[in-house]
Amino acid sequence: MNVAPRSEGGRFTTPPPRVSVVVASYEHEDYIEECILSVLGQTFQDFEIVVTDDGSRDSTLQKLRAIRDDRLSVHAFERNRGACIALNHGIRRARGEYVAILNSDDAFEPGKLAMQVEFLDTHPQTAAVFAWPLVVDERGVAFSEERHKDFAVFHVENRDRFRWLRQFFDAGNCLCHPTLMIRRRCYAEVGLYDARLSQVPDLDMWIRIASRYDIHVMREPLTRFRIRDGQRNASAARPEVVRRDAWERQMVARQYLSMPDETLRLAFPEHRDDPRPAGLWLAERGLAAGLPLFCLATMFDVLDPYGEGDEYRHLASLTGSIDVFGLFRGIGG
């Protein structure tokens, strides 16, 4: 599809699209054509596709470059740098009012862009809109393994931004990244994805967004989210992923410590009248939420080194009972 150029100061340019579909691709030669064609086949056609390939060594890049459409832009890293770096690179190149994120092994349903553009156009107070995914296997067939961690985790109901913040702290992520459409200006306001994170940069982003803005989840399955055989998804429960996820969640939880006190007490109304500094009761919640490092470090930072009170004995008790370094793993006591 060719877009009629316009002249600006003697130079011919094309008007920016309404939507930028941003894809960070990496070694998905079996799926990349389906991914891109699912965008080209949308009922809504005012878009660009901004791809950053993260150093693929298979035929992903060759297949991308074989797709001929003026709206497709491909940049390739010479070596693998990491998913967040590739994604941020694409977002920086995006020109659309809205940004839709798509993984290179996933695909959009035909009405995805149209439905989400209409929603954001008619709900100016909402910063980002998500959807339920259609979970499929490697062959594109509906996924039926109900015990898999991703089978139904994204089938969530809407809530206000304070209850989203509570959900993210207590239970972690429940929003499917490749269903996202977001106002591009939000990235300028809350920042891009944290390249220090490999497992939960999306959770970190949702916390930053919900600390300021409303978000919405559409119940329609608008993105085909692929679960690959042999735990080959980046988020699959392999030992290194589980360890990394646990560490990163401790770090991401620190976002809450910089939020206004009123925001925290609206997110956790049972602490509305708690006279203690928010960090102390957040630390206690962190312990219950499986965030022991966050709990101990937050209590240590919040308490006055020259103060007094029961909290100091409580901290000493916790540091003696929580084996954060695994020193006695497999040993009684």
Q: What is the pLDDT along the chain (333 residues), one digit of tens a residue?
A: 444 444 444 454 678 999 999 999 999 999 999 999 999 999 999 999 999 999 999 999 999 999 999 999 999 999 999 999 999 999 999 999 999 999 999 999 999 999 999 999 999 999 999 999 999 988 887 876 766 666 678 889 999 999 999 999 999 999 999 999 999 999 999 999 999 999 999 999 999 999 999 999 999 999 999 987 655 556 555 678 888 899 999 999 999 999 999 999 999 999 999 999 999 999 999 999 999 999 999 999 999 999 999 999 999 999 999 998 888 876 654
Instruction: Let me know whether 138 and 38 are in one domain.
Output: yes
User: Residue 270 CB: number of other CB atoms within 10 A?
Assistant: 9
Contact 311/280 with Cβ under 8 angstroms?
Answer: yes
Residue 29 and residue 152 in one domain: yes
Domain residues for the domain of 182 are 6-237
In this structure, the answer to whether residues 197 and 232 fall within a common structural domain is yes
Residues 233 and 255 in one domain: no
Instruction: Give every CB contact of residue 81 below 8 A, 6+ residues apart in sequence.
Output: 54, 55
198 vs 24, 84, 138, 252, CA distance in Å? 14, 8, 23, 12
At which of 237, 266, 283 does a domain end?
Answer: 237
- Sign of the CA dihedral running 257, 259, 265, 270: negative
Q: Final residue of a domain: which of 237, 261, 282? A: 237
Judgement on whether residues 204 and 310 belong to the same structural domain of the protein: no
Does one domain contain both 267 and 231? no
Count H helices and E strands in the chain, helices first: 12, 10
Pick from 332, 322, 333: nearest CA to 291: 322
In this structure, what are the phi and psi dihedrals at residue 179, rounded to the nearest 5 degrees?
-100, -5
Instruction: Please indicate, yes or no, whether residues 217 and 288 belong to a single structural domain of this protein.
Output: no
* 154 domain-assigned: yes
**Are 204 and 272 part of one and the same domain?**
no
Same domain for 212 and 295, yes or no, is no
Query: Which of 237, 271, 306 represents a domain boundary (last residue)?
Result: 237
- The pLDDT score that the predictor gives to residue 21 is 98
- Identify the CATH number of the domain in which residue 23 sits: 3.90.550.10
Residue 1 has a pLDDT of 42
Number of domains in the chain: 2
Residue 147 inside a domain? The answer is yes
